[in-house]
Amino acid sequence: MRWKTQAATLDLSRRAMVMGILNVTPDSFSDGGEYDAPDVALERARQMIAEGADIIDVGGESTRPGADDVGSAEEKERTVPVIKALRREWDGLISIDTMKSEVGRAALEAGADIVNDVSGLRDPEMVKICAESGCGVVVMHMQGDPRTMQKNPEYEEVVGEVRGFFEQRLIELTAAGIEKEALCFDPGIGFGKTLEHNLALLRDLEGLEVEGRPLLIGLSRKSFIGKLLESDALADRDWPTVALTAWTRESGAMVHRVHDVRPNREALRMVEAVMGG
């Protein structure tokens, strides 16, 4: 299993990768306002790198349910300086978490290697930018949009429908010029899914695999964990996230997007040791 990014082609056949979340936003659900100053964001990135992050995922717009829209200019102002500063001192992988083609282009020009688009590249211009740049691409499934996605999401069979979306996007995106090896798929845990939908997807990750493309799992601190624990405290979600990281690695997920790098990375290495990886 290989994943091609703008900087390198990654071998994901045995060792999973950790994508550290760097939200440079005032309103993200977990850490909004903590890292929205460039110098503070850069220090947080350094910390995650020291803890073993393989990828730093920089996001300038919250995608929590009901979050306010952010214009492209403001989103660029939040993310591009951080990406430029990080690129000057680190040769590792940088991802831009955005739905906007203008932001994606600016981030790639600033030094990003991967576009992580929660909308699944609905914008044709984003498709064009990704094809031309040769960057890595994360295609996420989301029913609806971030403002409305949790208003009564419905599926006849969620695993089959998400897999069908991946299959269709692979055909469409490769026809538009994006290399198949550049694609990574994300089932979008918590994005237009109920608790039952999330659990069904996590139980059958193998059923989501499409033509050997890697799966990215982003479930760190998400609200479904709080519902299962019957707790609203974000701190209560950290160790359950680690447990789910271990579970999803055993089930075949090879990219893990998390807030706390060290414990999740250590969980991956332990699972891989037992699996013989």
Q: Identify how many contiguous H helices and E strands the chain contains and give both numbers.
A: 9, 10
For residue 222, indicate whether it is catalytic.
yes
CB 214 within 8 A of CB 185: yes
Nearest to 116 by CA among 148, 83, 149, 147: 83
| Of 13, 10, 31, 72, residue with least CA distance to 252 | 13
Distances (CA, A) of 257 to 88, 102, 157, 216: 23, 23, 25, 7
Single-letter code of the amino acid located at 162: V
Which residues, 6 or more positions from 41, have their beta carbon under 8 angstroms from its beta carbon? 22, 24, 35, 58, 82
Residue 257 designated active-site: yes
Residues 6+ apart with CB under 8 A from 27: 33, 62, 64, 67, 68
Single out the residue of 138, 161, 267, 266 nearest to residue 208, CA to CA. Answer: 161
Of residues 222, 237, 249, 265, which has the active-site annotation?
A: 222
Whole-angstrom distance, CA of residue 185 vs CA of residue 1? 13
Catalytic: which of 44, 64, 249, 257?
A: 257
Active site residues: 222, 257
